[in-house]
Amino acid sequence: MNLMEFQGKELFARVGIPVPRSQHCHTPDEAASFVAKNPGKWVVKAQVLMGGRGKAGKIKFATTADEARAVTAEIMATPMPPNRQNPNGEPIHSVLVEECLEIDKEAYCAITIDRTSKKPVVMVSRFGGMDIEEVSEKHPESIAKKAIDTAAGFWPFAGRELAFASELDAGFRKQLPAIVGGIYDLFFRYGAKLVEINPLALTKDGRVIASDAKVELDDDGLYKNKEFAEWQKALPLDEDESLATASGLGIRNFRRFPGTVGTMANGAGLAMATMDAVKNANGEIANFLDVGGGANAERVRKCYELVVNHTNAKVFFVNIFGGITRGDEVAKGIVEALNTTTSRKIPLVIRLTGTNEEEGRRILTQAGMTTVATMDEGAARAVELAKA
Amino acid sequence: MNLMEFQGKELFARVGIPVPRSQHCHTPDEAASFVAKNPGKWVVKAQVLMGGRGKAGKIKFATTADEARAVTAEIMATPMPPNRQNPNGEPIHSVLVEECLEIDKEAYCAITIDRTSKKPVVMVSRFGGMDIEEVSEKHPESIAKKAIDTAAGFWPFAGRELAFASELDAGFRKQLPAIVGGIYDLFFRYGAKLVEINPLALTKDGRVIASDAKVELDDDGLYKNKEFAEWQKALPLDEDESLATASGLGIRNFRRFPGTVGTMANGAGLAMATMDAVKNANGEIANFLDVGGGANAERVRKCYELVVNHTNAKVFFVNIFGGITRGDEVAKGIVEALNTTTSRKIPLVIRLTGTNEEEGRRILTQAGMTTVATMDEGAARAVELAKA
Amino acid sequence: MSIYLDKNSKVIVQGITGGEGSYHTARMLSYGTNVVGGVTPGKGGQKSEHGLPVFDTVKQAVEATGATHTCIFVPPPFAADALFEAHDAGITLAVCITEGLPVHDVLRVVGATPGMQIIGPNCPGLISPGKATIGIMPGHIFKEGNIGVISRSGTLTYEVVDLLTRSGFGQSTCVGIGGDPIIGTVFVDCLRAFANDAQTEAIVLCGEIGGSDEEDAAAFIKEHLAGKPVIAFIGGRNAPPGKSLGHAGAIISGNFGTAQSKIAAFQAAGVPVADRPSEVPRLLAQRLGVTV
Amino acid sequence: MSIYLDKNSKVIVQGITGGEGSYHTARMLSYGTNVVGGVTPGKGGQKSEHGLPVFDTVKQAVEATGATHTCIFVPPPFAADALFEAHDAGITLAVCITEGLPVHDVLRVVGATPGMQIIGPNCPGLISPGKATIGIMPGHIFKEGNIGVISRSGTLTYEVVDLLTRSGFGQSTCVGIGGDPIIGTVFVDCLRAFANDAQTEAIVLCGEIGGSDEEDAAAFIKEHLAGKPVIAFIGGRNAPPGKSLGHAGAIISGNFGTAQSKIAAFQAAGVPVADRPSEVPRLLAQRLGVTV
């Protein structure tokens, strides 16, 4: 689960990472009333998950209540425009009215998980305020990395090493160990997969403050913090994610593509291999779908309806490796699913392997479905049908 | 630093260990007013560091406000009587008015540090409510111990193992991992050397509650929690500890005995060896005193005055191994100290070794002090003078 | 021989009285696995439905049975605890079937359980065909032989193994290492074990997009595995870009875990990469100089 | 030879520009210790007053100098951090002079720094006479020879060493392990090292009341150290009962750490126990069959 800036900064505050003074506002009036009570220079930032707010004109300044009302209204009037990351854009439901920092220097600081060392790794760069991918391309040597030993936990020396290795401005140096300690603490306490402070600001009066906050939480660990259930409900899902959860699938088990060959397989690896097989047969994929373990009738029906109603599929290629489940049971589930659905019918190509596979194929053939013996054969047949 | 029951229970509550409802009261009226507002059966317990409150009549019951006032007044009227642990007794400044638990079973649960494994060790016994030393003598097999790996941290299995290994009543079993997790958490979060729950009560209505709380904090770690400075001020020191701190020594650097040979040495090991040397010479020791590093004139004067004014010493045996400090410097310090003190004079026997030891001895002899070459010789001479 | 597991390995099941645990214990026993007992707190002293002794703690189970291997079927919130318990009791190999462990629990476990080989979490387990299996793999598709198989995916492993078996290639040991971001045993661990295994003559490695385990494996093969042919397959060449670790994660690992990067790494290490699973047996036959 | 430290050991000093650190660095250098640099964050690139390079981090110091040993002179709140930094940078032996470390910091350090030998905290350090010293011991009282010395106390060590030197017994290595409740190196660690040290022909062990390190040492000697005579001295026979660990601690360690218990353990292991420090050289001479 990705958090919005105001949520990320709330967690920052809890672990002692300095953040600018701010107020989360849902309406222009709320913003105006806050600025009226708190004179000063403020920045109004749209609260969305998408990046590119600045370029989209969704970050504006205000020094009076009227200005605050006006820019908030302007920001919230239109959704975030689509970009490559999110082709649907994103509606804006709130803004963060925040102390306008007088920034002297900007740095980058993040923690994430390194698969290879199996440890949390902290990254620091003296190039803040720009996309870290860009920094990584243009100034790869500027990025200092440090794996943290989870058995020892975080100790300040790691922050000092990062400050010196990344040649951060000396103004950052004293505070960096505490900032890194804070993101390490947040990382474990709240189960984050990524915590990114970009930019980490050194202000003209010498404070080191998290000017932005990007936090991605581990979905598998959300249950440990009850409050996250509320946050999750309030966050936008993209359309594929919404469709997946509405069909009872995991959030990452379904994704659409522009092609015409619908697919379904059990297990992410086999589902990916199934897509590859369709590609190898010169077909275009309509979707990725991992039905998970236990392909029972109800589950199969929902997946069928999901693909038929929400993708461009002209054919539905089902690729099940029975494993422990018996092939005849799976076959019965498929037949029952197809008999009970009220959605329009498209041709099915079914590849079914596992215990009692022959018996399963017999059941399917009797129900008038196309069965094939191998994944490659199924892919070829599905592509043929899609092009027919 | 040892904590009183109400302080220990405050920490228990913070880490989620269930404690009885209670009110800490400083006067009989406070206790009465609390009971008036909260009808029920209450127990009133003197808040002192000494053990043996029950036998001393310092734990009483009350069901009405008048009873609460009366028993509180009675408890606070006289100090805790002396015992072997504290020959001076202890004044009573407050009581804890606490929910009277309907106890079904009592167990014992504690965490402390094991020097050998260099780990925190949790101990659980199904014999609660009695001194653990007694349990250890009578039912040694009933005490289950489990070292906790600090790299892994606490995980519930350790609590389960302890519950099963100690054959605790099944009513304790489900809650024990959380209780153990709580004391482990307290142990590290607040820097405790000992956390003891005795008894850990299983109530008739199935709750598992810490009925008493004994917490010893590590003095070296107190700085990490600012609030402890306040607690420390409020806690009673025994007389030797008060004298030690008043003389600028560490709390454990001075202790008195009934004998007549006063001692001072640098380093705890040498100070103990000095006492042993006096014993070996058939003398009786007046005190243990580790002057620490840097025996300068001011420090030596204060120690001299401490021994002369507060022990039965008839002679003062100073045993300094110069090490890095130069012997002549130490000698000058001793002479200066003795010249500036206004306390009564007793004979000194000085053993001084280290760099420039001959020069040092010359300075001391010129000032009319007895110097000796070895510790054994010094001890013999001191004993002789004490008996003179 | 075989790696990690043979006929004599003494196995316990944590969560033996639960639905999954009980079902798969029966399957493991029927395959020939030397399952010696199980653990369910509060049921110590009872017998499982398979007639095996049930213990309250892993420590008791290990003391009573001498078990060295464990198979963990406990719900995600309790799985890290189960792994730490196994480690503390002296277990040397733990297979964690449980799916959905918080990744931070896994980080903690792998960082503080030295000396215990963890397979998974979220994996199908492992099998030394003809000897024993730990986990949930469908034993009937495997056949004893001399090909080592390692895979990040469950059903894809079955697909590949099925093809191998049908082509006459039996397996020494097959390890489903799981596809989670952090896993206890990675390709390199298995390759090192296969390198020292006399029974294993060639290795099939089924990778996936994401992470850099495949690149690490390729580097290891180039350096240390000249003697035994390896065939690779990379799943997900046409899959949506992984969203799970984000950009910072990709920069940490030094690449973006694309299929291209992995294929290039394997080719540079002299490892033929199959275009599709069905190509694996053919490539293997070529490298071994046999006909399928 | 000698244990833990010789002429070639490359040593850095953490806190080299502080008062204590600077003073004792000068002393170590003048004794002949191969001090190759120091660490003070923010002073990297400067030279210490001894002309040694100063680094911002231990990692930089190790990379630039190849140091394997460190001596830590930083205030108590920063000492655990300094030890973890040394471990992370690959240091293999760390002497922590700092007194007053929170015991929980020490527990954390010793529990998560595998592969690094920690001497202390709150100890005077170690010396291989005639070769090198790390710490704050007064070098002039030591003399090269073949007696290994281990002690929990600082000044008591000097007392005993002084007596040994005056009696003609030189030392191979003397280790002041410190008297804190939790220390990185205990008697048994040193005994194991001395057992394998060709230079060391006999060992003097100075214990104290409290804890069970002496009992553990006695058990180790009985089991593994038949070849080399050991003489023990136990300080504090007439000292006030230790208050620091309380009763639960005593029950954990299985005894109450009395002088009686320790003396009995040593005698059972065939180790003569001196009544007083001045008896040590005589007992040693007896065991070695020489005259003082």
Which of C27, C83, C152, C155 is best to mutate for the A interface (most A CBs within 10 A)? C155
Residues forming a β-bridge with C232: C205, C273
Q: By CA distance, what is B220's nearest residue in D?
A: D102
In this model, does residue C255 exceed pLDDT 60?
Answer: no
Together in a domain, A266 and A339:
yes
D278-290 per-position pLDDT tens digit = 999 999 999 999 8
Q: Which domain holds residue B166?
A: 103-223
Chains that touch B (3 or more CB pairs under 8 A): A, C, D
The domain boundary, picked from B172, B188, B223, lies at B223
B308-324 per-position pLDDT tens digit = 999 999 999 999 987 76
Smallest Cβ–Cβ distance between B152 and the set C41, C57, C84 belongs to: C84
Minimal C-alpha gap between C101 and chain A (Å): 6
Predicted local distance difference test score (pLDDT) of residue C219:
95
Q: Mind giving me the DSSP string for A64-115?
A: SHHHHHHHHHHHHHSPBPP-SS-TT-B----EEEEE---EEEEEEEEEEEET
Q: How far apart are CA B26 and CA B24, in angstroms?
A: 7
Report the CATH number that the domain containing residue B88 is assigned in CATH. 3.30.1490.20
In this model, does residue B293 exceed pLDDT 80?
Answer: no
What one-character DSSP code corresponds to residue A2?
Answer: B
Q: How far apart are CA D283 and CA B302, in angstroms?
A: 39
Per CB-CB distance under 8 Å, the chain D contacts of B376 are 276, 278
Chains that touch D (3 or more CB pairs under 8 A): A, B
> Is C42's CB within 8 Å of B173's CB?
yes
> Is C85's CB within 8 Å of B151's CB?
no
Is residue D214 within 8 Å of D207, Cβ to Cβ?
yes
Any idea what the Cα angle at residue D115 is, between residues D114 and D116, rounded to 5°?
Answer: 95
Max CA distance (Å), chain A: 79
The domain boundary, picked from A68, A83, A99, lies at A99
- B234 is a domain residue: no
Q: How far apart are CA D162 and CA D143, in angstroms?
A: 9
Together in a domain, A80 and A118:
no
Total domain count, chain A: 3
Together in a domain, A183 and A48:
no
Go through B290-326 and write b for each residue having 16 or more CB atoms within 10 A of its CB, e for each that does not. Answer: bbbeebbbebbbbbbbbbbebbbbbbbbbbbbbbbbb
How would you classify the pairing of strands B95-99 and B22-25? antiparallel
B52-82 per-position pLDDT tens digit = 899 899 999 999 999 999 999 999 999 999 8
Predicted local distance difference test score (pLDDT) of residue C257:
74
Q: How many CB atoms lie within 10 A of CB D13?
A: 35
Would you say the C-alpha torsion B305, B307, B308, B309 has a positive or negative sign? positive
The average pLDDT across D156-161 equals: 92
Q: By CA distance, what is D108's nearest residue in A?
A: A152
Predicted local distance difference test score (pLDDT) of residue C270:
95
The domain boundary, picked from A223, A256, A284, lies at A223
Together in a domain, A63 and A81:
yes
Top pLDDT among B83 and A39 is at A39
Report, in angstroms and rounded to the nearest whole number, the Rg of chain D calculated over CA atoms. Answer: 19
- B193 is a domain residue: yes
Smallest Cβ–Cβ distance between D81 and the set A149, A151, A155 belongs to: A155
Both tokens assigned to D85: 């930094």
> Is A152's CB within 8 Å of B151's CB?
yes
Of the candidate ranges A61-75, A121-135, B16-30, C105-119, the one whose mean pLDDT is the lowest:
A121-135
Together in a domain, A264 and A323:
yes
Minimal C-alpha gap between D107 and chain B (Å): 6
Beta-carbon contacts below 8 Å between A and B: 3
Minimal C-alpha gap between A246 and chain C (Å): 20
Minimal C-alpha gap between D85 and chain A (Å): 6
> Is C84's CB within 8 Å of B151's CB?
no
In this model, does residue B297 exceed pLDDT 60?
Answer: yes
Both tokens assigned to C48: 């499982």
Q: How far apart are CA B280 and CA B379, in angstroms?
A: 8
Predicted local distance difference test score (pLDDT) of residue D246:
40
Of the candidate ranges A265-269, B201-205, B278-282, C196-200, the one whose mean pLDDT is the lowest:
A265-269
Chain length of chain B: 388
Per CB-CB distance under 8 Å, the chain A contacts of C216 are 116
> Helix, strand or coil for residue B97?
strand
> Helix, strand or coil for residue A207?
coil
**What confidence category does residue D242 fall into, taking pLDDT thresholds of 50, 70 and 90?**
very low
Together in a domain, A88 and A141:
no
Give the HSE-up count for residue B85: Cα atoms under 13 Å, Cβ half-sphere: 12
Q: Which among A196, A304, A329, A357 is annotated as catalytic?
A: A196
> Is B152's CB within 8 Å of C57's CB?
no
What is the dihedral angle through the alpha carbons of B78, B83, B88, B93, rounded to the nearest 10 degrees? -40
B144-201 per-position pLDDT tens digit = 999 999 999 999 999 999 999 999 999 999 999 999 999 999 999 999 999 999 999 9
Together in a domain, B261 and B168:
no
Orientation angle between helical segments B156-165 and B176-189, nearest 10 degrees: 120
Predicted local distance difference test score (pLDDT) of residue A239:
82
> Is B157's CB within 8 Å of C60's CB?
no
Together in a domain, A256 and A198:
no
Top pLDDT among C155 and B146 is at B146
> Is C278's CB within 8 Å of A143's CB?
no
Which of D116, D205, D220, D238 is best to mutate for the B interface (most B CBs within 10 A)? D238
Q: Is residue B151 less than 8 Å (CB to CB) from chain A?
A: yes
Q: Tell how far CA B288 is from the center of its chain.
A: 16
C40-97 per-position pLDDT tens digit = 999 999 999 999 999 999 999 999 999 999 999 999 999 999 999 999 999 999 999 9
Together in a domain, B196 and B276:
no
Q: Which among A98, A108, A184, A190 is annotated as catalytic?
A: A108
Orientation angle between helical segments A327-340 and A297-310, nearest 10 degrees: 50
Together in a domain, A76 and A146:
no
Would you say the C-alpha torsion C27, C32, C37, C39 has a positive or negative sign? negative
Let me know if D49 is exposed, middle or buried by CB neighbors in 10 A (0-12, 13-18, 19+). Answer: exposed
In this model, does residue D251 exceed pLDDT 60?
Answer: no
Lookup result for tokens 């290629």: A317
Per CB-CB distance under 8 Å, the chain C contacts of B151 are 111-112
Q: Which among B108, B184, B190, B304 is annotated as catalytic?
A: B108
Q: How far apart are CA A110 and CA A210, in angstroms?
A: 11
Report the CATH number that the domain containing residue B138 is assigned in CATH. 3.30.470.20
Report the CATH number that the domain containing residue A350 is assigned in CATH. 3.40.50.261
> Is C27's CB within 8 Å of A272's CB?
no
> Is C84's CB within 8 Å of B161's CB?
no
- A1 is a domain residue: no
Predicted local distance difference test score (pLDDT) of residue A188:
96
Predicted local distance difference test score (pLDDT) of residue A18:
98
- A8 is a domain residue: no
Max CA distance (Å), chain D: 57
D159-213 per-position pLDDT tens digit = 999 999 999 999 999 999 998 889 999 999 999 999 999 999 999 999 988 888 9
- Residues of chain D above pLDDT 90, percent: 81
- B11 is a domain residue: no
In this model, does residue B299 exceed pLDDT 90?
Answer: no
- Collect the ranges in chain A with pLDDT lower than 50: none
B108 assigned to active site = yes
> Is C113's CB within 8 Å of B156's CB?
no
Would you say the C-alpha torsion B268, B270, B276, B281 has a positive or negative sign? negative
Both tokens assigned to C254: 């030094």
Q: How far apart are CA C86 and CA B367, in angstroms?
A: 71
**What confidence category does residue B115 fall into, taking pLDDT thresholds of 50, 70 and 90?**
confident
- A15 is a domain residue: no
Predicted local distance difference test score (pLDDT) of residue B132:
85
Predicted local distance difference test score (pLDDT) of residue B295:
65
Smallest Cβ–Cβ distance between D112 and the set A151, A156, A161 belongs to: A151
Q: Which domains does chain D have, with CATH numbers?
A: 1-121 (3.40.50.720), 138-292 (3.40.50.261)
Predicted local distance difference test score (pLDDT) of residue A342:
84
The average pLDDT across D144-172 equals: 94
The average pLDDT across C132-152 equals: 95
Per CB-CB distance under 8 Å, the chain C contacts of A268 are 153, 179, 208
Find all residues with CB under 8 Å of C211, minimum gap 6, and list them.
A115, A116, C181, C245, C253, C257
Read off φ and ψ for residue B95, nearest 5 degrees: -130, 160
Q: Is residue B152 less than 8 Å (CB to CB) from chain A?
A: yes
> How far apart, in Å, are the Cα atoms of D14 and each of A167, C275, D21?
21, 56, 8
Minimal C-alpha gap between A108 and chain C (Å): 11
> How far apart, in Å, are the Cα atoms of A129 and each of A19, A143, A212, B30, C245?
16, 14, 9, 59, 21
Together in a domain, B168 and B297:
no
- B1 is a domain residue: no
**What confidence category does residue C155 fall into, taking pLDDT thresholds of 50, 70 and 90?**
confident
Mean pLDDT computed over every residue of chain B: 92
Q: How far apart are CA D94 and CA D69, in angstroms?
A: 6
What one-character DSSP code corresponds to residue D176?
Answer: E
C230-251 per-position pLDDT tens digit = 999 998 777 655 444 344 555 5
Together in a domain, B338 and B252:
yes
Q: Tell how far CA A189 is from the center of its chain.
A: 20
Smallest Cβ–Cβ distance between C238 and the set A131, A265, A285 belongs to: A285
> Is A270's CB within 8 Å of C159's CB?
yes
Pick the closest to residue A188 from C76, C103, C114 (CA basis): C103
Q: Is residue B77 less than 8 Å (CB to CB) from chain A?
A: no
Is residue B50 within 8 Å of B64, Cβ to Cβ?
no
